[in-house]
Structure 1
Amino acid sequence: MPEQLDVPSISLKDFESRKEEITKQLVEAAETAGFLSLVDHGITVEEIDRQFAISRVFFDLPADVKARIPHNLHTNNGWEYKSQIRPSTGVADQKESFWLQRNSQWPTDEDVPGFSEGTRNFFAKCESISKQVLACLSIALGFPENHLYDAMDVDAEGNLTQMRMIHYMASENTAGTWRAGNHTDIGCLTLLFQRDGEDGLEVCPGRENHNDHAIGDKFFPIPARTGPIVVNIGDMLMAWSDDRLKANYHRVRAKDLGPSPDRYSIAYFNTGRRNVVMQGPLKKYPAISCGDYFLHKTAIQFGHNFKKVEPAAVTGNSLPTVAV
């Protein structure tokens, strides 16, 4: 096992003229670590800082104000506080988060000045970057260039793509404890924004198939930097690629020495629309709708929460009814 994990930094500069080169770099990273870092992606450090400032203003609000948009088990949108229990740890992640979609309820500008305009602009930037990366991966898998992006069209019915603003509270806990337990992402492609010095993300490579629950004993840190976007493959895309692209386990760990400071991150989860049917080019697995796959995977990761909701609520454009 190497001492360091190769998480390449890939530039999207001059995307159209370099598409073949970029595709090769993206696929090589996706087939191994399942993680990579994007630079020259079109979102400035200033724009990222502004979105983090919006996030921090929200999380600094009193709990009763944040609770005006409570986490909804039917849609998976809204504010949650230490409610996500990972099967890998059996305890709640030490964080709060706010899940949102473009058409979900957002904080008012009175509570968080500039939330709507700033976040909508940030959504649009994430959508543009996702389109480029998904185009490359579609081509590499032998699909039409727009195959994956069209399957995740945020303007179409049954859209499951979400953004999640996350705040890990400063902690004096025992060194090496989990701020977020071992897990994989359920969707297709995650864009993760971090801030300088707020480390803790660790990755464990080596997963062989999208149903593999084994976790190796070696995790590698990915330092947090403002600017580069950490990108990783999710379970849905691993299945869609016949296990060629790897959705590897990762976690957020507290510091080994001294207290762990506040950590803020923003994740943009590209997920196939509910009624889109997914199947890999080699047809290794039976065809399944993205909605059914998402529900199946969510049941595995968060089945302990099913007793809290009514199964009949899983209808229409709702997300699986679990606390995630």
Structure 2
Amino acid sequence: MAQTRYVDRTIPRISLADFETRIDQITTELVDAAENVGFFTLIDHGISKEDIEGIFATSSSFFDLPDTTKASVPWNANNVGWEKNSQVRPSTGKPDCKESYQLQFGDNMKGLWIADDHLPGFQATCLEFMHRVQRISECLMRCFARGLGFPEDFFIKCHDASRPDAQTTMRLLHYFALPEEQDGKVYHRAGAHADWDFLTLLFQKEGQSGLEICPGREVVTGFGIGDEWTKVEAKTGEIVCNIGDLLMSWSDDRFKSTFHRVKAPCEAGDYFGDRYSIAYFNQPCKDTLIQGPLKKYPMVTGAEFTEIAMKRNFAALQEK
């Protein structure tokens, strides 16, 4: 196996404190991070460490259920429901060693919330947290709209979480503990990939490391992955955010959707235990019209963009 090359890059840390009075400064910091790294960390975002630990406890309570119970809410093509060992990354050709439960606000979740008989209050707890993360997302959307010269509420309207067909998704993730002793098998947590959404907000648990990023992409239509990785430390109270392919396209490639992975532990100092994280994917309504201010790419709907981006990324990764 080739030795991974690591470099220390500065992942910008951005405070959302006093957002309304500091919106100009925050916009400048977010635009700079989006143009140069594609990743940034939020602090002072209004969700306490205790509340984040609480939603992780709720997530763990779901994953602790028997598989037969979790199978009562199976994954489907609307990007909702539970899956286990089923997501194959073209960069690895093997399934990730994980399970996940994908949750949305609207009609796609009908019949796919785990029943209160199994986990009382689960749906209400998750939706309350999702609405809090949505409010943070909308603050960021206001800044990115200002940075690109759109009306301030432009992206918020495109990602209206109150619509029955809203597609924004919160994904509860459980990566399985892996053996520290070599057993001849190859394991993968999440192979190198770029997100195809607008913006991802990631919650991690202290000490459960593994996230790494690899900048190098200049156009959303290209592969653009380098060979130098930077480790992103896991801290429970912080939110790690990254630009997705959608925002890269919407900015006419000004903002960068950066490749990243959750490394399979294989070296001294790596974390081999169970890893829990929660990813919040901001995805536009299907009928949203998407085109950057410079009109670099043809106008497409939200549904069309998702289909095109997934096909392009998979084809590029397979070729790589």
Q: Which residue of 2 aligns with 1:148?
A: 155
Q: Which residue of 1 aligns with 2:225?
A: 215
Q: 1:292 aligns with which of 299, 304, 314?
A: 304
Q: Which residue of 2 aligns with 1:106?
A: 113
Instruction: Tell me which amino acid in the other structure corresponds to 2:80.
Output: N
Q: Which residue of 2 aligns with 1:38?
A: 42
Give, in whole Å, the separation in 1 of the partners of 2:6 and 2:276: 29
Deviations 1:286-319 (A, max 9, x none): 111111000112234458xxxxxxxxxxxxxxxx
Give, in whole Å, the separation in 1 of the partners of 2:148 and 2:164: 25
1:259 Cα deviation from its structure 2 partner: 6.3
The answer to whether the aligner puts 1:254 opposite 2:264 as a matched pair is: yes
Give, in whole Å, the separation in 1 of the partners of 2:197 and 2:274: 26
Task: Tell me if structure 2 keeps the 8 A contact 1:86–1:301.
Answer: no
CA gap 1:208/1:150 in 2 versus in 1, 3 angstroms: same
Give, in whole Å, the separation in 2 of the partners of 1:109 and 1:224: 31
Task: Tell me if structure 1 keeps the 8 A contact 2:113–2:123.
Answer: yes
Give, in whole Å, the separation in 2 of the partners of 1:81 and 1:201: 20
Give, in whole Å, the separation in 2 of the partners of 1:299 and 1:159: 22
The answer to whether the aligner puts 1:82 opposite 2:70 as a matched pair is: no
Give, in whole Å, the separation in 1 of the partners of 2:75 and 2:101: 8
Q: Which residue of 2 aligns with 1:198?
A: 208
The answer to whether the aligner puts 1:273 opposite 2:278 as a matched pair is: no
1:1-324 equivalences under 5 Å are 3-73=7-77, 75-103=78-106, 104=109, 105-156=112-163, 158-172=165-179, 178-255=188-265, 256-257=267-268, 260-301=272-313
1:242 Cα deviation from its structure 2 partner: 0.3
Task: Tell me if structure 2 keeps the 8 A contact 1:54–1:114.
Answer: no
* Number of residue pairs aligned between Structure 1 and Structure 2: 302
CA RMSD of aligned residues (A): 1.8
Return 168-177 or 143-152, whichever deviates more. 168-177
Return 3-12 or 136-145, whichever deviates more. 3-12
Percent identity of paired positions between Structure 1 and Structure 2: 45
Q: Secondary structure at the match of 2:20?
A: coil
Give, in whole Å, the separation in 2 of the partners of 1:186 and 1:149: 18
Instruction: Tell me which amino acid in the other structure corresponds to 1:112.
Output: L
Instruction: Tell me which amino acid in the other structure corresponds to 2:88.
Output: I
- TM-score (structure 1 length as normaliser): 0.89
Give, in whole Å, the separation in 1 of the partners of 2:240 and 2:29: 14
Instruction: Tell me which amino acid in the other structure corresponds to 2:40.
Output: L
Task: Tell me if structure 1 keeps the 8 A contact 2:170–2:280.
Answer: yes
Give, in whole Å, the separation in 1 of the partners of 2:136 and 2:279: 13
Give, in whole Å, the separation in 1 of the partners of 2:113 and 2:87: 21
Deviations 1:132-182 (A, max 9, x none): 001000000000001111101011254221110000000016599531000
- TM-score (structure 2 length as normaliser): 0.91
1:51 Cα deviation from its structure 2 partner: 0.5
Q: Secondary structure at the match of 2:172?
A: strand
1:2 Cα deviation from its structure 2 partner: 8.7
Deviations 1:106-141 (A, max 9, x none): 112221233122111101111100010010000000
Give, in whole Å, the separation in 2 of the partners of 1:290 and 1:227: 32
Instruction: Tell me which amino acid in the other structure corresponds to 2:94.
Output: V
Give, in whole Å, the separation in 1 of the partners of 2:65 and 2:104: 20
Give, in whole Å, the separation in 1 of the partners of 2:284 and 2:88: 24
Q: Secondary structure at the match of 2:127?
A: helix
CA gap 1:157/1:115 in 2 versus in 1, 3 angstroms: closer
In structure 2, runs of 5+ residues without a counterpart are: 316-320
1:89 Cα deviation from its structure 2 partner: 0.6
Give, in whole Å, the separation in 2 of the partners of 1:176 and 1:211: 30
Task: Tell me if structure 1 keeps the 8 A contact 2:6–2:228.
Answer: no
In structure 1, runs of 5+ residues without a counterpart are: 304-324
